[in-house]
Amino acid sequence: MNEIQCAFIEEYGNYGFDFEQQGVSTHFIIVSILVKESNKEFLEQEVEKIRQKYFHSGEMISGEVEDHLRIQLLNELKDLPFTVYAYVIDKRKIREDSGITFKKTFIKYVNRLVYDDLYRTFDQLDLVMDEHGSKEFMDEFKNYVKTTSIPDLFNYSSFGFNQSQSNLLLQLANLFAATIAQGYDRTLFSEQYRSFYQIIKDKMIGIHLWPYDYKHFLYEYKSEKPDAKYDEVIIKQAVNLAYQYIDKNRKSDEEDEKIRIDFLKFLLFNLKENPDEYVFTQEILDNLNAIREIKINQHYFRSTIVSKLRDQGLLISSSNKGYKLPASLTDLYDFVNLSSLTIHPMIQRISKCRDQILVATNKEIDILDQKEYEYLKRIIEMEKLAVK
């Protein structure tokens, strides 16, 4: 059996939709601090040292943390053995006629959204929430998981609540929930969020934005490039194709599909945070492997994950700096240029090989005569005509 992970879950925000009212959050955020059972005790000890250093006898209350102190805290926490998995729900983008703007319906919908994604992503997960809080989402989520997950003969559920506790790690989850909120929620937004993100980005194995809307990625993205008029079209197509693929395959039990979906979610998040930056292959693998016992390698990633997504028509740019969802025409040219460095020389090699055999056999054997090579034959002959 794979080592079980613990998920310490906290929320930020409230359930209201009257954004003119003071104190109503624009976003509802759920954060899971993930830690392997073997690392839990060590993590608690190290977090306790940090708590004592900065908060003395008090708890790590995220709302009382000023920007400069948050930066110090995050720098001390970033190398500890845990990762962060989060959901960011923009309540402003939920249609009023959807019915989800009613408090109870909203809570039930988010319950199902979070449960389905966590259950699909993690085969085993020991969930931990605040037992003494008054948060309705948490209470409903606990009830939903308990009625949905099936325990074994010893009343142990591989995905559920198994009496694990740690108030300290719930405080850590609260700290990260508030930190993420400072990059999204209008009532808590901080100009320092970019600094926070640069510190914690290696800890983030997933931030899932909902509802699905390509305009999430245009909010702060403005291009001054010559072909900027096409950028929104390109982003919209790339993002919507990614969302459509995720929605179509999100219930698949095939491990390859799960990895492809996690890869797309990673690219979506990177597009939001760093629209112009590529992500190196090793950084992507580190992210995908953080939640997997069986690690994937670069060959598998390129041939089974990236190639299959492109075969389905998804737009994924690549260069010698890694991968990204395209945000501009330049990103698409990067992909074409990189591909041409491989495709054109290979076609030339095939052409030379073919010519050698044609000469040696007095044109009796053409290695491209097979039906499946007809397209290659046409490409090579067209290239020869172009040269003439």
Average pLDDT (307-325) is: 95
**Band of pLDDT at residue 211, cut at 50, 70 and 90:** confident
**Band of pLDDT at residue 317, cut at 50, 70 and 90:** very high
pLDDT for residue 298: 95
Please indicate, yes or no, whether residues 380 and 241 belong to a single structural domain of this protein.
no
Please indicate, yes or no, whether residues 98 and 236 belong to a single structural domain of this protein.
no
**Across 41-45, 73-77, 290-294, least confident range:** 290-294
Highest averaged pLDDT of the listed ranges 132-136, 155-159, 169-173: 169-173
How many domains does the chain fold into? 3
Average pLDDT (302-329) is: 94
Asked if pLDDT for residue 173 goes beyond 80, the answer is yes
pLDDT for residue 89: 92
Average pLDDT (212-228) is: 68
Give the Cα separation of 206 and 338 in Å (integer).
Answer: 28
Please indicate, yes or no, whether residues 76 and 188 belong to a single structural domain of this protein.
yes
Average pLDDT (224-231) is: 73
Residue type (1 letter), 171: Q
pLDDT in tens, 56-111: 888 887 666 888 999 999 999 999 999 999 999 999 888 876 778 888 888 888 88
Please indicate, yes or no, whether residues 125 and 148 belong to a single structural domain of this protein.
yes
Asked if pLDDT for residue 287 goes beyond 60, the answer is yes
Q: Which two tokens stand for residue 211?
A: 């509802």
Domain containing residue 370: 330-387
Average pLDDT (169-187) is: 92
In a domain, 68, yes or no: yes
pLDDT for residue 78: 94
pLDDT for residue 153: 46
Asked if pLDDT for residue 296 goes beyond 90, the answer is yes
Average pLDDT (334-350) is: 88
**Across 214-228, 314-328, 362-376, least confident range:** 214-228
Terminus-to-terminus CA distance in the chain, angstroms?
65
Please indicate, yes or no, whether residues 129 and 262 belong to a single structural domain of this protein.
no
CATH code of the domain containing 190? 3.30.420
pLDDT for residue 154: 46
Please indicate, yes or no, whether residues 194 and 279 belong to a single structural domain of this protein.
no
Please indicate, yes or no, whether residues 5 and 119 belong to a single structural domain of this protein.
yes
Please indicate, yes or no, whether residues 370 and 276 belong to a single structural domain of this protein.
no
In a domain, 223, yes or no: no
Asked if pLDDT for residue 16 goes beyond 70, the answer is yes
Percent of the chain with pLDDT over 70: 90
Asked if pLDDT for residue 244 goes beyond 60, the answer is yes
367 against 291, higher pLDDT: 367
314 against 56, higher pLDDT: 314
**Band of pLDDT at residue 2, cut at 50, 70 and 90:** low
Is the pTM higher than 0.85? The answer reads no
In a domain, 312, yes or no: yes
In a domain, 10, yes or no: yes
Contacts of 249 (CB under 8 A, 6+ apart): 257, 260, 261
Burial of 242 (0-12, 13-18, 19+ CB in 10 A): buried
